[in-house]
Amino acid sequence: MSLKNVIKRAPVTIIGIPSLIAFTLYTYDVFMLFFTIAGILILGELYKLSRPNGTEPNVWMGFPLYLTLVWDQLFQGGTNLGYILITAALLLLTFEMFRNKVHALENIASTLFGAVFVGLAMSYFIKLQQMGYDGQGGHLGAYAVLTVFIGVWACDTLAYFIGSAIGKHKIFPRVSPNKSWEGSIAGLLGSFIAFILIVRAGWLPGLDYFDALALGLITGLAGQIGDFAESMVKRDVGVKDSSNLLPGHGGAWDRLDSILFAAPLSYLYLTMVVGL
């Protein structure tokens, strides 16, 4: 990474990371609002990325569908999911007849997929932060979110440096030509180590070292798959970043691609396996 790029990225990093830690640990509504808006930005980027291939997502239905899914998951426990999805599918099919756009099936599929993927992934991420919230700041879910961030960052950092230094065997050159097995394995080990230290420090009471390894695997592996998934989409349309929202960092999806995979799976593990 060049010095020029480091300087360009610095303001977002210096301001963003402490702010993120603060409202993750000590807020409820601010965190929920921030990442709901982040999801809107990601969905907008995803819809924009679909257009170079001739697809025209129905954004006037996609964004309300996203917000409806988030609302249902956060305030209704997801009890209306089936009703929401079938209603959305029927409305999309109906309105597509009046849009007079080519690639009707692709338009409907991209609209529905984008809203459902981002809406549900972001909802579970927010629900992870809400676990054990007592209304007074400092709660289990906040530490769970921070551990996911730390696990992803540890994975990304080690994968980058080890991959750059000794990476020779490419994992998936068609999707991401610079990613190597050496870097990927180093990143996974970094995530394992981060979670072992977190459990040892007592950040997540009730978890043992097996849970640390499981969450390290989820964060390290799922996070990398999330990165590959976004790279696949960007490579398909020939762009480097999902947008230029954050100088030197790319778009909202670029920053949260790993989180959109790792956080929901971590939430499911903590609730369904650990029983938190």
Q: How many structural domains compose the chain?
A: 1
- Output the pLDDT for position 70: 97
Quick one: average pLDDT of 265-276? Answer: 88
pLDDT of residue 251: 85
Q: Is the dihedral of CA 103, 109, 110, 112 positive or negative?
A: positive
Contact 99, 58 (CB under 8 A): yes
Domain that holds residue 147: 3-274
pLDDT at 49 over 70: yes
Q: What is the dihedral of CA 200, 204, 207, 212, to 10 degrees?
A: -60
Q: Which of 138-142, 189-193, 221-225, 260-264 is predicted with the least confidence, judged by mean pLDDT? A: 138-142
Tokens for 208, please give them.
Answer: 């043992």
By CB neighbour count within 10 A (0-12 exposed, 13-18 middle, 19+ buried), where does 273 fall?
A: exposed
Write the CA distances from 180 to 160, 241, 261, integer angstroms: 9, 20, 20
Q: What is the mean pLDDT of residues 202-227?
A: 86
Instruction: Categorize the per-residue pLDDT at 7 as very low, low, confident or very high, splitting at 50, 70 and 90.
Output: low
Separation of alpha carbons 184 and 196, rounded Å: 19
Task: Give tens-digit pLDDT for 90-139.
Answer: 999 999 999 988 999 999 999 999 999 999 999 999 999 988 765 544 57
**Could you report the per-residue pLDDT of 163-174, keeping only the tens digit for each?**
888 878 888 888
pTM score, whole prediction: 0.90
